[in-house]
Amino acid sequence: MPELPEVETVRRGLAPALVGATIALVELRRHDLRLPFPERFAARLQGRRILELRRRAKYLIADLDDAQSLIMHLGMSGSFRIDDETPGAFRRENGKKSAAHDHVVFHIDHGKRIVYNDPRRFGCMLLVATDEIGADKRFRDLGVEPLSDALDVPFLAGAFQGRAAPVKALLLDQRLIAGLGNIYVCEALHRAHISPLRAAGSLVTAGGRPKAPLARLPQAIKDVLSDALRAGGSSLRDHRQIDGSLGYFQHSFRVYGREGAACPTPGCKGTIARVVQSGRSTFYCPACQR
DNA sequence: CTGTGTTCCTGTTCGC
DNA sequence: TGCGAACAGGAACACA
């Protein structure tokens, strides 16, 4: 369930249960996800206290009291839930099905279990020295946080200038902006009325100045992410938030998954189209996104 | 360096 | 109802 708003929602849900708590025991139910778990993963976590739970891009980072950090990525289908340790008080309503892909169980000293479930196993968990995270190859090249002041019009103008790739491809590139994924890129481009197919460089003048549509893009990105965050993220399928409730931003999608629907832009008579760009679905309105 | 395509894995949905 | 194909929120890697 994982673009920036979903990962941040997970972080906020887990933080009260994890920050300041101690990991009593870790159950590893397989030796790898997308990557092998680190050597002695469970042993190295046992007895560690969690000082802080942070997010960078789509990564969750738990800083531990031994100067190491547990880094977690949810991939495409990863999720966390919090269970009571009490043997009888088993999972909530839709029980056994989810247990099939419970790969990691963190037993916390206050008597709860944090369970990581990931059917497709595209997620990963790593252990890295806290002060070396910035130098790690996964983090070294990450771009700006889209909700930070670093994402502004001049930044995008500089990044887009001279680039022939479609603007959608650049927005998905984590080395430029870190945290956007397929849904929110489609949604942001619709809000900015920019065609996802347009060459990124065509949004900048020869002199390197942003053209009018580009001037709308950073705010459109921030708006859609803030709106999604406020809604607790998007729950495709039956993905749940930590507390079991559903994020509801999927009801606010203007284009994603809405092929054939009327464009929601006021006054626009267009119909949402679906095309494939570098192997992934793009949804947009050919009438008001140019 | 740039841009595109493939791959990892399982589950769900869609069309016949 | 059954069955195969298409598709799914990510990102690393191979290749032209």
In this predicted structure, the answer to whether residue A97 has a pLDDT above a threshold of 70 is no
Q: Could you tell me the pLDDT band of residue A95, with boundaries at 50, 70 and 90?
A: very low
Q: Same topology for domains A4-135 and A153-284, yes or no?
A: no
CB A260 within 7 Å, strand B: no
Query: Could you report the per-residue pLDDT of A145-157, keeping only the tens digit for each?
Result: 999 999 999 999 9
Query: Could you report the per-residue pLDDT of A11-51, keeping only the tens digit for each?
Result: 999 999 999 999 999 999 999 999 999 999 999 999 999 99
CB A3 within 7 Å, strand C: yes
Chain B: positions less than 7 Å from a protein CB are: 2-13
Tell me which of 3.20.19.10, 3.40.630.30, 3.30.930.10, 3.20.190.10 is the CATH number of domain A4-135: 3.20.190.10
Instruction: Give the architecture (CATH level 2) of A153-284.
Output: Orthogonal Bundle (1.10)
Question: For a pLDDT cut of 90, what percent of chain A falls above it?
Answer: 89
Q: State the CB neighbour count (10 A cutoff) for residue A149.
A: 9
Question: For a pLDDT cut of 70, what percent of chain A falls above it?
Answer: 93
A58 flagged as catalytic: yes
Q: What is the pLDDT of residue A84?
A: 86
Query: Could you report the per-residue pLDDT of A107-123, keeping only the tens digit for each?
Result: 999 999 999 999 999 99
Q: CA A222, C1' C12: Å apart?
A: 27
By the 8 A CB rule, do A272 and A196 touch? no
Q: Where exactly are the structural domains of chain A?
A: 4-135, 153-284
Q: What is the pLDDT of residue A242?
A: 72
Q: How far is CA A69 from CA A56, A82, A132, A231, in A?
A: 13, 21, 9, 29
In this predicted structure, the answer to whether residue A278 has a pLDDT above a threshold of 90 is no
What mean pLDDT, rounded, does chain A reach?
93
Give all strands of the β-sheet with A68-73 in edge-to-edge order.
Answer: A50-56, A59-64, A68-73, A124-129
CB A278 within 7 Å, strand B: yes
> CA A73, A77, A78 angle in degrees (round to 5)?
45
Q: Which of A85-89, A129-133, A156-160, A179-183 is the least confident region?
A: A85-89
List the catalytic residue out of A11, A48, A58, A254: A58
In this predicted structure, the answer to whether residue A88 has a pLDDT above a threshold of 90 is no
Q: Which nucleotide is nearest to A6 (CA to C1')?
A: C9
Spatial distance between the Cα atoms of A185 and A204, rounded to a whole number of angstroms:
19
Mean pLDDT of A264-277: 97
